[in-house]
Amino acid sequence: MAEPTDRPASREPIDFTVETLGPCTVDSPLAPRLQARRTTQHYIEETDRVLFDDTLSKVSRREGDLEDLPSLEPTGPRKKIFFDPSKTRVGIVTCGGLCPGINNVIRGLVSELTTHYGVRRIYGFKNGYQGFVPRYGHDVVDLTPESVSGIDGEGGTILGTSRGQQDAAEVVDCLERMGISVLFVIGGDGTMRGAQKISAEIKARDLKIAVVGIPKTIDNDIPFIDQSFGFQSAFSEASRSIRSAKVEARTAPNGVSIVKLMGRHSGFIACYAALAQNDADFVLIPEVPFTLDGPGGFLQRLREKVATQGHALVVAAEGAGQELFDPADAAASLKDASGNKRLQDVGRLLRQAITDDFAAHDLELNMRYIDPSYVIRSVPANPYDAVYCIRLAHAAVHAAMAGRTNMVVGRWRRRFVHIPIALAVSDRNQVDPHGDLWWSVLEATGQPWSFGDFAAEQVTAFGGQ
């Protein structure tokens, strides 16, 4: 379970208000099943709320009455809905990088819409937001329970994907032409920013089209969500590479294996994969800077580990060590199609630095380098993520049919909730260097809090290491 974004309680209120298209006046097909349900440990009534804070100290720092405490709207079916299912047309689009479980979400959406709400017209837009724009010429796919049967056993997405934003006006033009009432968007933070722009354009035209997001990222860096779908599958697959790297390192004299994993700004995959396999000697993540050279630096610690153990295994998130590169380097200013800053290659840096350092100390070195980045994101969802995906899909359908819009579904403190898109893209979930997760990594690896110059700043915070 990835640690939730843990912001300190403040006096500034957090606006968890979810936009709606209007009053719900249509009887839900699920209403008869809801009559006897009441809030319990495992279910929340639609009129109840989920508290944002989960400790007494956080609650005590809030001002106002009980009803003023920050809280989120629960997911789930409503007795009254906004859309008439028999007249509702739905669109589904997948954008951004691949992630385990996308097909599970697609199948869950189609199944819930058809089986329980009776929606008969569901369209899949091909290759991300490009699928809405005429100049790309991408076809539209009719999605039925039969056409999505079995896709949850496959990695990737049957709808294809692409990176980069498209003109929100062109997207809404397409929705109007096709008479789409509900759009489900599956993607990461860049995709959700695009969905936010689409929602704004819909609102500016005074249209009644719901936009609901199911956020995905194997980096697990979306705030206000306990965990992104596909994350568990990704770090489970990554742990296989760590196991192989350990075998390679320990079967060669002075063997050093480096495993570079995804994690641009958040080191969750590196942390969880390392804990799952528990073979890593060092874990390097973006949230904890380090130095290579000098007393207590990474290279010295690595040499000491190899000297005492005979080998070493290093797990590095792709965004680790960016502070070691020259910001004036031309490569540092490049961006990808989604507008993200291109990272410098920490894997190449570590390989060269370790090679040079061992040579300078006249030490034998047998290095192995493994980068399973694309492998871990293209696998099918594991059973845990498969369950999580279908529950997110159900929650998204219930929200959209009830006229909620400009929002995403997620889980907070193990409760499924509605979250405004504005909040979901407002920040980045990261590993807390003072939190329980990083503490567990340090305990498992035995590595110091940090290395070199940065270690001196942290030494007293972690028992004198």
- Among residues 6, 48, 142, 219, which one is catalytic? 219
Annotated binding site for substrate: 217-219, 262-264, 318, 374-377
- The torsion region of residue 18 among left (phi > 0), alpha (psi -120 to 50) and beta comes to beta
In whole angstroms, what is the distance from residue 423 CA to residue 434 CA?
24
Taking the CA atoms of residue 434, residue 439, residue 442 and residue 444 in that order, the dihedral angle to the nearest 10 degrees is -170
In whole angstroms, what is the distance from residue 192 CA to residue 206 CA?
21
CB 98 within 8 A of CB 64: no
- The torsion region of residue 376 among left (phi > 0), alpha (psi -120 to 50) and beta comes to alpha
- Per-residue tokens: 310: 């005979």
Looking at residue 60, what is its pLDDT? 78
Taking the CA atoms of residue 53, residue 58, residue 59 and residue 60 in that order, the dihedral angle to the nearest 10 degrees is 180
Has 15 been annotated as catalytic?
A: no
In whole angstroms, what is the distance from residue 192 CA to residue 7 CA?
22
Q: Which residue has the tokens 């099943």?
A: 33
Looking at residue 339, what is its pLDDT? 62
Helix (H, G, I), strand (E, B) or coil at 85: helix
Looking at residue 270, what is its pLDDT? 98
| pLDDT digits 0-9 by tens, 219-277 | 999 999 999 999 999 999 999 999 999 999 999 999 999 999 999 999 999 999 999 99
In whole angstroms, what is the distance from residue 191 CA to residue 168 CA?
12
Largest CA distance in the chain: 78
Name the H helices within 45-167: 56-60, 102-115
* Share above pLDDT 90 across residues of the chain, in percent, rounded to a whole number: 79
Looking at residue 340, what is its pLDDT? 67
> Sign of the CA dihedral 89, 409, 211, 230?
negative
Looking at residue 38, what is its pLDDT? 72
Residue 9 — very low, low, confident or very high, per pLDDT cuts 50/70/90?
very low
Name the H helices within 318-435: 346-360, 373-377, 383-401, 421-424
**Closest-CA residue to 117 (of 400, 392, 390, 388):** 400
pLDDT score of 88 more than 90: yes
Name the H helices within 37-85: 56-60
| pLDDT digits 0-9 by tens, 369-423 | 999 988 999 999 999 999 999 999 999 999 999 999 999 999 998 899 999 999 9
Which position has the higher pLDDT, 209 or 456? Answer: 209
CB 322 within 8 A of CB 340: no
CA angle, residues 170, 408, 124, in degrees to nearest 5 = 50
Mean pLDDT of the chain: 91
Name the H helices within 144-267: 168-178, 189-204, 231-250
Residue 459 — very low, low, confident or very high, per pLDDT cuts 50/70/90?
very low
- The torsion region of residue 64 among left (phi > 0), alpha (psi -120 to 50) and beta comes to left
Residue 283 forms beta bridges with which residues?
A: 315
CB 269 within 8 A of CB 408: no
Query: Burial level of 10, CB count in 10 A (0-12/13-18/19+)?
Result: exposed
Residue 336 — very low, low, confident or very high, per pLDDT cuts 50/70/90?
low
Which position has the higher pLDDT, 10 or 135? Answer: 135
In whole angstroms, what is the distance from residue 432 CA to residue 208 CA?
41
* Share above pLDDT 70 across residues of the chain, in percent, rounded to a whole number: 92
Taking the CA atoms of residue 238, residue 394, residue 18 and residue 25 in that order, the dihedral angle to the nearest 10 degrees is 170
Annotated binding site for ATP: 97, 163-164, 188-191
Residue 338 — very low, low, confident or very high, per pLDDT cuts 50/70/90?
low
Looking at residue 329, what is its pLDDT? 67
CA angle, residues 46, 48, 51, in degrees to nearest 5 = 130
Q: What domains can be seen in the chain, in order of their start residue?
A: 26-56+66-228+381-412 (3.40.50.450), 231-378+431-453 (3.40.50.460)
- The torsion region of residue 272 among left (phi > 0), alpha (psi -120 to 50) and beta comes to alpha
- Per-residue tokens: 333: 């200013």
pLDDT score of 10 more than 90: no
Looking at residue 248, what is its pLDDT? 97
Looking at residue 333, what is its pLDDT? 57
In whole angstroms, what is the distance from residue 340 CA to residue 354 CA?
29
